[in-house]
């Protein structure tokens, strides 16, 4: 059986080996054990059910919540020579009839349907007569209230088991929290299922988290590091999207905006243009991304802090699906925390969400290995001592030499100011007192007489503000109320008595920034070593042209990894082309000549 699995992998996908847990997930399906598989975005979930569908009699039925994704998946399968189809509200009656006929004739190996279709009597009858080999619940976290994408129409999927007695169900998701997992198992009425839980870690993603100062400048600095590469820039609000998008276009960074306030047709058009590689940069709210499978997204920028670590993990997870190095930059500010807190005010799950918000703010403000923090957050251990893929492990963060003393100075100032008047003050005021600025507010309240007045004369106001932000994020200070006043928390008391030490990062200075950019450039050069970049661009152009012609996303034709392999090995015969990564029998037949010609012309 295992040999057949490898044969099919090579024949259709053009791959040589399985990724972690794929083999186990496939065997669960082939050996008729119901299963739950959790793999991170880009982990290769689709192949886990597409491959066994080819090895089993009958038709596999995939329930998917995302209409856009269904079309892409089916287009991708067809491009590999696999007969697949989908049924959802987006297709015409004629198309629907044609699909139903093909199903009746036993011609379809994989059928994608939306969850609401499964509630229809006619659909149930059709599936019963077609002989379903197994059911797949894709994006299974949508079943759970605990997940961040709960969907009403996923609630009734429990009926599959009673309706289709004896046919196995297999659930797939990228969301690994224990509550979500438990919920999926319960709702699908699984009985002791096989569970494959992959590592949430994405080693090819390089994380950098920085304080927001001048956002347009910070974004353009990143864009200059990624010429001709694809990326998403996430903003918090629609207005920010419009604003950032327009400013970047003015500066010559061609991009398109995307947010829920645009018309449906404009949104679809922009999404399509990005997916087809007509444009490489999209500025968006988080409304953008679900169902975006473009595999060569090389960077994701967050212009503000996301809502939770789950969201951040998912949003950045859209980068580097093809496994190549990709970069995630986040620019946060204390304002983001306050904005999210405000949004949560009337939320029924306010307390849980507040804790989650605290966790992401802690992630932003407390230096530590970003990959380890993710793993631990999702209940997994992290074995490596250094991930070599985050600002902390790459030694890009410069630490304050005596963080305890600095923390004590700031906290004692907060205490003194409060003692004097019985109420607290905001971060700006505290910073002015520490620096010794005799502002009107200070002299008016007699704060120039406090023992903490002027004890940090050399520090700038932005520096002190940055330290305060980190002390808030690390739980030593609390900022609350209408006036964002500061107070010392119980952990802060420990800090004052020397029983706890904060970890404080200095603001990044220009020289350090230059050094990081230089290193990044060198790394890129190493990654491209031996590869003909000009040829790669020509191959990309050809791919975009074919994508436009066939009306499919470019990555469906070939991923960047395949194009890079071509730019490295420069195959000019069919035989050599067959050895390129991601070239199966069908792709060889339909694309070899076209791409070989580009390579020959260039040579
Ligand atoms: P997920 O659904 O888990 O986010 P996908 O199924 O979209 O991930 O797979 C991500 C990418 O990895 C796709 O381009 C896919 O073709 C590729 N891939 C999957 N399995 C393998 C494998 N065994 N070897 C090489 N590439 C793979």
Q: Which long-range contacts (CB under 8 A, 24 or more apart) does 443-452 make?
A: 445/420, 445/421, 446/420, 447/417, 447/420, 450/413, 450/416, 450/417, 450/420, 451/416, 452/409, 452/412, 452/413, 452/416, 452/417
Q: What is the pLDDT of residue 518?
A: 83
The band of 348, judged by pLDDT with boundaries at 50, 70 and 90, is: confident
Q: Which CATH number fits domain 205-377: 3.30.420.40, 3.30.300.30, 3.40.50.720, 3.40.50.300?
A: 3.40.50.300
Ligand 1 centre to CA of 13 (Å) is 10
For residue 295, which atom of ligand 1 is closest to its CA? 14
- Mapped onto helix, strand or coil, the DSSP state of residue 211 is strand
Of 91, 226, 79, 65, give the one whose Cα is nearest residue 152.
65
Ligand 1 centre to CA of 14 (Å) is 12
- Mapped onto helix, strand or coil, the DSSP state of residue 345 is coil
Contact 252, 264 (CB under 8 A): no
Measured from CB, residues less than 6 Å from any atom of ligand 1 are 15, 18-19, 22, 39, 41-47, 293, 295, 321-322, 559
Ligand 1 centre to CA of 51 (Å) is 12
Integer Cα distance of 554 and 540 in angstroms: 9
Q: What is the pLDDT of residue 18?
A: 95
| 439 alpha-carbon distance from chain centroid | 45
Q: Note the pLDDT tens digit of each residue in 24-36.
A: 999 999 999 999 9
Ligand 1 centre to CA of 375 (Å) is 21
CATH 1.10.150.80 maps onto the chain at 533-602
**Ligand 1: residue whose CA is nearest its atom 20:** 44
* pLDDT over 70 (residue 315): yes
Ligand 1 centre to CA of 487 (Å) is 49
The band of 65, judged by pLDDT with boundaries at 50, 70 and 90, is: confident
Ligand 1 centre to CA of 49 (Å) is 12
Instruction: Quote helix, strand, coil % in the chain, to nearest 5.
Output: 50, 10, 35
Of 18-22, 128-132, 204-208, 341-345, least confident by mean pLDDT is: 341-345
CATH 3.40.50.300 maps onto the chain at 2-197, 205-377
Residue that wins the pLDDT comparison between 555 and 146: 555
* Kind plus residue range of the DSSP H or E element containing 171: strand 169-173
Q: Note the pLDDT tens digit of each residue in 241-264.
A: 999 999 999 999 999 999 999 999
Of 293-297, 362-366, 535-539, least confident by mean pLDDT is: 293-297
- Using alpha carbons, list the distances in angstroms from residue 193 to 67, 163, 476: 28, 19, 44
Q: Would you identify the CATH topology of the domain 403-496?
A: Arc Repressor Mutant, subunit A (1.10.10)
Integer Cα distance of 540 and 255 in angstroms: 19
User: Is the CATH code 3.40.50.300 the one for domain 2-197?
Assistant: yes
Ligand 1 centre to CA of 15 (Å) is 10
Of 14-28, 288-302, 506-520, least confident by mean pLDDT is: 506-520
Mutation probe of ligand 1 site: the residue of 15, 44, 295 with most atoms within 8 A of C-beta: 44
Q: Note the pLDDT tens digit of each residue in 489-522.
A: 999 999 999 999 999 999 887 778 888 888 877 8
The band of 176, judged by pLDDT with boundaries at 50, 70 and 90, is: low
Of 355, 358, 349, 360, give the one whose Cα is nearest residue 309.
360
**Ligand 1: residue whose CA is nearest its atom 14:** 322
Residue 9 is classified by DSSP as I
Average pLDDT over residues 520-533: 80
Integer Cα distance of 149 and 296 in angstroms: 24
Q: What is the pLDDT of residue 42?
A: 83
Q: What is the pLDDT of residue 147?
A: 59
Average pLDDT over residues 133-162: 83
Integer Cα distance of 368 and 399 in angstroms: 11
For residue 174, which atom of ligand 1 is closest to its CA? 3
- Mapped onto helix, strand or coil, the DSSP state of residue 323 is coil
Integer Cα distance of 49 and 51 in angstroms: 6
Q: Which residues of 320-350 are buried (b: 16+ CB within 10 A; e: fewer)?
A: bbbbbebbbbbbbbbebbebbbeebeeeeee
In this prediction, what percent of the chain has a pLDDT beyond 70?
99
Average pLDDT over residues 130-136: 96
Q: Burial level of 471, CB count in 10 A (0-12/13-18/19+)? A: buried
Q: What is the pLDDT of residue 424?
A: 84
Mutation probe of ligand 1 site: the residue of 47, 554, 564 with most atoms within 8 A of C-beta: 47
Q: What is the pLDDT of residue 553?
A: 86
In this prediction, what percent of the chain has a pLDDT beyond 90?
72
Query: What pTM value is reported for the model?
Result: 0.86
For residue 46, which atom of ligand 1 is closest to its CA? 6
Ligand 1 centre to CA of 26 (Å) is 14
Q: Note the pLDDT tens digit of each residue in 78-94.
A: 999 999 999 998 899 99
**Ligand 1: residue whose CA is nearest its atom 25:** 15
Q: Which residues of 227-261 are buried (b: 16+ CB within 10 A; e: fewer)?
A: eebbbbbbbbebebbbbbbebbeeeebebbbbbee
Q: Burial level of 294, CB count in 10 A (0-12/13-18/19+)? A: buried
Q: What is the pLDDT of residue 495?
A: 96
Integer Cα distance of 30 and 54 in angstroms: 10
CATH 1.10.10.10 maps onto the chain at 403-496
Average pLDDT over residues 272-281: 89
Contact 256, 273 (CB under 8 A): yes
For residue 13, which atom of ligand 1 is closest to its CA? 16
Encoded tokens for 212: 């927001």
Domain 533-602, CATH homologous superfamily name and number: HRDC domain (1.10.150.80)
Average pLDDT over residues 387-414: 95
For residue 40, which atom of ligand 1 is closest to its CA? 3
Q: Note the pLDDT tens digit of each residue in 553-569.
A: 888 999 999 999 999 99
Ligand 1 centre to CA of 348 (Å) is 37
Q: What is the pLDDT of residue 146?
A: 63
């Amino acid at each position: 059986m295992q040999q057949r699995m490898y044969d099919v992998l090579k024949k259709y996908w053009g791959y040589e080996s399985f990724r972690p847990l794929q083999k186990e997930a496939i065997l669960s399906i082939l050996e008729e054990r119901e299963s739950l598989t959790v793999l991170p975005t880009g982990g290769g979930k689709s192949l886990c059910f597409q491959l066994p569908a080819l090895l089993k009699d009958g038709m596999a039925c995939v329930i998917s919540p995302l209409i856009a994704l269904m079309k892409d998946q089916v287009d991708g399968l067809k491009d590999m020579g696999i007969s697949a189809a989908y049924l959802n509200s987006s297709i015409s009656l004629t198309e629907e009839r044609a699909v139903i006929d093909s199903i009746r004739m036993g011609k379809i190996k994989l059928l994608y349907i939306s969850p609401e279709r499964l509630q229809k009597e006619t659909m149930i009858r059709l599936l019963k007569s077609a002989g379903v080999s197994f059911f797949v619940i894709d994006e299974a976290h949508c079943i759970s209230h605990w997940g961040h994408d709960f969907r009403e129409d996923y609630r009734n999927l429990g009926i599959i088991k009673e309706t289709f007695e004896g046919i196995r169900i297999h659930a797939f998701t990228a969301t690994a929290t224990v509550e979500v997992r438990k919920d999926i198992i319960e709702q699908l009425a699984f009985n002791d299922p096989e569970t494959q839980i992959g590592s949430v870690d994405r080693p090819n993603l390089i994380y950098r988290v920085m304080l927001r100062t001048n956002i347009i400048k910070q974004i353009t600095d990143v864009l200059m590091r990624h010429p001709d590469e694809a990326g998403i820039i996430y903003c918090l609000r629609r207005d920010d999207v419009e604003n950032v998008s327009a400013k970047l276009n003015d500066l010559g960074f061609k991009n398109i905006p995307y947010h829920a306030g645009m018309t449906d047709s404009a949104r679809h058009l922009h999404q399509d243009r990005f997916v087809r590689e007509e444009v490489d940069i999209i500025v968006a709210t988080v409304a953008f991304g679900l169902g975006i499978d473009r595999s060569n997204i090389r960077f994701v920028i967050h212009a503000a802090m996301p809502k939770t670590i789950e969201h951040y993990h998912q949003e950045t997870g859209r980068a580097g699906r093809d496994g190549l190095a990709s970069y995630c930059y986040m620019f946060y500010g204390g304002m983001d925390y306050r904005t999210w807190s405000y949004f949560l005010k009337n939320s029924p799950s306010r307390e849980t969400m507040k804790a989650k918000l605290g966790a992401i703010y802690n992630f932003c403000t407390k230096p530590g290995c970003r990959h380890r923090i993710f793993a631990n957050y999702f209940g997994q251990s992290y074995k490596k001592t250094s991930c070599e893929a985050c600002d902390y492990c790459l030694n890009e963060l410069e630490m304050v030499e005596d963080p305890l003393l600095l923390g004590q100075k700031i906290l004692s100032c907060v205490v003194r100011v409060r003692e004097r008047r019985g109420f607290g003050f905001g971060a700006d005021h505290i910073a002015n007192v520490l620096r010794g600025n005799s502002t009107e507010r200070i002299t008016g309240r007699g704060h120039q007489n406090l023992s903490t007045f002027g004890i940090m004369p050399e520090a700038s106001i932005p520096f002190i503000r940055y330290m305060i932000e980190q002390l808030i994020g690390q739980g030593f200070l609390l900022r609350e109320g209408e006036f964002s006043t500061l107070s010392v928390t119980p952990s802060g008391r420990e800090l004052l008595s020397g029983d706890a030490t904060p970890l404080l990062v200095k603001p990044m200075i220009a020289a350090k920034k230059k050094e990081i950019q230089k290193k990044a450039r060198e790394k890129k050069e190493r990654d491209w070593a031996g590869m003909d970049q000009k040829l790669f661009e020509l191959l990309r152009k050809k791919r975009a042209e074919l994508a436009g012609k066939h009306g499919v996303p470019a990555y469906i034709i070939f991923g960047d990894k395949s194009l890079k392999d071509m730019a490295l090995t420069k195959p000019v015969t069919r035989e050599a082309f067959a050895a390129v990564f991601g070239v199966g029998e069908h792709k060889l037949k339909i694309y070899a000549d076209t791409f070989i010609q580009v390579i020959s012309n260039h040579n």
